[in-house]
Amino acid sequence: MAQTPAPAPPPAPFVTHQLGPNLYWISGGGGNSGVIIGKKGVIVIDAKTTLAGGKELLDDIAKITPKPVTTVIETHSDSDHIIGVSAFPKGVAIIATENTKKEEEAARAAGRSALPADYLPTQVLSKNQQILKIDGVRLDLFHWAPAHTSGDLVVYLPADKVVFTGDLISPEQPDPIIHPEKNGSSEGWITSMTAMASLNSDRFVPGHGEVQTKAAIKKGLDAAKAKREKIKALVAQGKSLDEIRVAVGDPPARGRIITFTEVVYRELTKKS
């Protein structure tokens, strides 16, 4: 007799966490979102997974401040961080890297995205580092290298010493998550994490999970660097991917997400 599959767990509820007098992050509903209250409006970092999630995010922001959302900053193109922006007011400024916009356009063209065309990024960053002042708030925006995706953007608020990392940090996962189909790179991830760890902060808000300390960031970076070097040595010995997976104690693959070990192996052997 066939067993009835277990029901899917209910989605995590939205929870608002305060980081400073005018700074918050909201968990639940997909990727974490940052909320920065400026002089006249609100800046949001990442906007949840769905239209309904975006609406709920706006409702939660309204409980914090009556000021309108005027700006959205996207840390990368993954749908669980951007689709909710379609619930935001028309004409909201949407800031992202050039490659993030390209990835969003490609996903829409291939029919893989529910993002409306009028909610694509409106302000594209082409520099690797840019300092913006939005509504009286200074934001330092960094893109060091292709890492999780080709267009990762890190948001640093020097006044609060808080960093929003997007999915460069995945504390709920044993290894970094790299999307090679979006031209992500394990070597670029190490470059990006090394630079991010040098920022003057001890509070790093990841794309998913709880706020991390600098010590935790460095520990994860060191572990990934060591694992990559071990994989590199095994590739040089002619070991197969399956042999390497066993040797490094690879965790099981998560759905369609390629493991860090396979990403590194593909990079080092130039296999697509």
Q: Is 231 helix (H, G, I), strand (E, B) or coil?
A: helix
Backbone region of residue 63 per phi and psi (left: phi > 0; alpha: psi in -120 to 50; beta: other values): alpha
Please give the pLDDT value at position 252: 76
Q: What is the CATH number of domain 15-168+178-214?
A: 3.60.15.10
pLDDT band at 36 (very low <50, low <70, confident <90, very high): very high
Residues 187-211 have pLDDT tens digits of 999 999 999 999 999 999 999 999 9
What is the C-alpha separation between 82 and 50, in angstroms, rounded? 8
Name the residue ranges covered by the structural domains of the chain: 15-168+178-214
Q: To 5 degrees, how large is the angle CA 204–CA 177–CA 35?
A: 35
38: exposed, middle or buried (Cβ count in 10 Å: 0-12, 13-18, 19+) = middle
Band of the pLDDT at 12, cuts 50, 70, 90? confident
* pLDDT mean over 124-145: 95
The yes-or-no verdict on residue 4 having pLDDT over 60 is no
Q: What is the Cα–Cα distance from 70 to 143, expressed in whole angstroms?
A: 23
- Please check whether residue 257 is in contact with residue 184, taking contact to mean a CB–CB distance below 8 angstroms: no
Give the length of the chain: 272
Q: Which of 112, 120, 60 is nearest to 85 (CA)?
A: 120
Q: Which amino acid is at 237?
A: Q
**C-alpha span between 47 and 237 (Å, rounded):** 45
pTM of the model: 0.94
Residue listed under structure tokens 């002042």:
133
The answer to whether the beta carbons of residues 203 and 215 sit under 8 Å apart is no
- 43: Cβ contacts below 8 Å, ≥ 6 apart: 34, 35, 36, 69, 70, 71, 72, 73, 134, 135, 137, 139
How far is the C-alpha of 145 from the C-alpha of 157, rounded, in Å? 20
Q: Count of CB atoms within 10 A of residue 240's CB? A: 11
Helix (H, G, I), strand (E, B) or coil at 34: strand
110 pLDDT exceeds 90? yes
